[in-house]
Chains A and B, each alone.
Chain A
């Protein structure tokens, strides 16, 4: 496994980049202006692209450079641009009526990170430096998932839900860069493009929501119950 041969400098760099990505997820959790979410998401994608390039550099995986560039381009530029466009068409600037205040959701987020840490510790049986980075990568992957689900559940706006989904995908991507950098490139590239298609579909649906349902806030989409 790649991580078995990592030295302390590499471990530090990977750890820093990964933890900063997690921190940006907390920033997303704590803000209620929609534009701030998108910018934090873009920054997170850039960090993950940097991580990908770092793994490629230190591990000797040349194809990861291409993936890093594609990630920075698509997840870091194109997706945020698409989302900002949707936001500006929508006339919604911020979350009204948040279920959880930002400060409480930060605390819940911290608890979820601790839970993820427990699971990651349980799943890992390496020791030494490699073990630390493995546990960190697993923790961040699982906690980004959990934070994404938290964002999906406590946010009402459609855009926030799209962003929650994208955070989920970001988490998987982050973890897969550190843990399995050798995964066949075909799959990584297809997943990347799949994400673009997903966001395009979401964009179309959001427009339909505005036109036909009259609102994008799921607080008001209450017609189908039982």
Chain B
């Protein structure tokens, strides 16, 4: 029995919504395990979200309507993006031509932008610091993201992620071509930055290191839960793009049967396991870079993206 397209679409969004905290829990636990301690349980992020939804909401006096709206904007943006990208099926579903890859990137950035404004909104010092640092990182990272998307579009001669996925599945020579290898490396650098991993972010709450935690310092209760969930979903989405579009385009459901969907979910989790382990290894091996050296990994990513574009034209 083939599920209808609408159901499939809803399944994709639900998958992202429900499985994002699991990925976060896995990464945290794996990091601790690598350092030979026990780490929190895998479903701890679920428990945290549950706890936050039941807490009292406290607002600063200087907050305006932006403070209220930002978590909803971010959350909604993260719900829109899974409609546009290949999550479970590898054929385009009805609403997925609402936006191509650049459109998806823009929606993702819209979510981050909303949180940025919220950080500035209450006039808190830490919010200001967090926002300005996040903007600086954005300035360095966004061109790389755009160039990576341009690179992959040049390779596939189309802007849709589904076309890219099919191309990589069908043609091994494109998979191993230098352009593609560079795009993988460039996107991996971006992945590390955008999902708050070292060498840029640190998980402590010491003021001089915070970037993302600083922005949401004023939030509490359900709004904080929404923000945390949004960032976990962003991580999940970036992983989806990395795996399904760039690195491991295999294992997605083609027909749309329920069993196929379950299998697709399972393969997705397996792919994420591999990538998450790689990320954990990278994070454990290095320490945090000093602030003025944040440009270096991003410059490397930029270089990779440029090289990808150059080699796709020359070779």
Q: Which residues of A contact B (CB under 8 A)?
A: 7-9, 11-13, 15-16, 19-20, 23, 132, 136
Contact = CB atoms under 8 A, between A and B. Distances in A.
12 contacts: A9-B172, A12-B173, A12-B175, A12-B177, A13-B176, A16-B176, A16-B177, A16-B178, A16-B181, A19-B181, A20-B178, A136-B315
A15 B173 CA distance: 11
Contacts of B315: 11, 15, 132, 136
Contact of B174 (A7, A12, A19, A23): A12
B311 interface: yes
A107 B178 CA distance: 21
B314 interface: yes
Contacts of A8: 173
Contact of B177 (A15, A20, A23): A15
Contact of B176 (A7, A9, A23): A9
Contacts of A16: 176-178, 181
B32 to A, nearest CB: 27
A3 B311 CA distance: 19
Contacts of A7: 173
Interface residues of B, number: 13
Interface string B299-315: 00000000100010011
Interface of B: 172-178, 181-182, 307, 311, 314-315
Contacts of B307: 19, 23
B155 to A, nearest CB: 12
A125 to B, nearest CB: 17
Nearest to B175: A12
Contacts of B181: 16, 19-20
Given A9-B173, A16-B178, A19-B182, 6 more contacts: A7-B173, A12-B172, A15-B177, A16-B176, A23-B307, A132-B315
Across the A-B interface, give the 3 residue pairs with the lowest CB-CB distance, nearest first: A9-B173, A8-B173, A12-B177
B311 A15 contact: yes
B164 to A, nearest CB: 16
A16 B176 CA distance: 7
A132 B178 CA distance: 13
B314 A19 contact: no
Contacts of A20: 178, 181
Contacts of B176: 9, 12-13, 16
B315 to A, nearest CB: 5
B303 to A, nearest CB: 8
Contacts of A136: 315
Contacts of B177: 12, 15-16
Nearest to A110: B303
A161 B304 CA distance: 27
A20 B181 CA distance: 9
B173 A19 contact: no
Contacts of B173: 7-9, 11-12
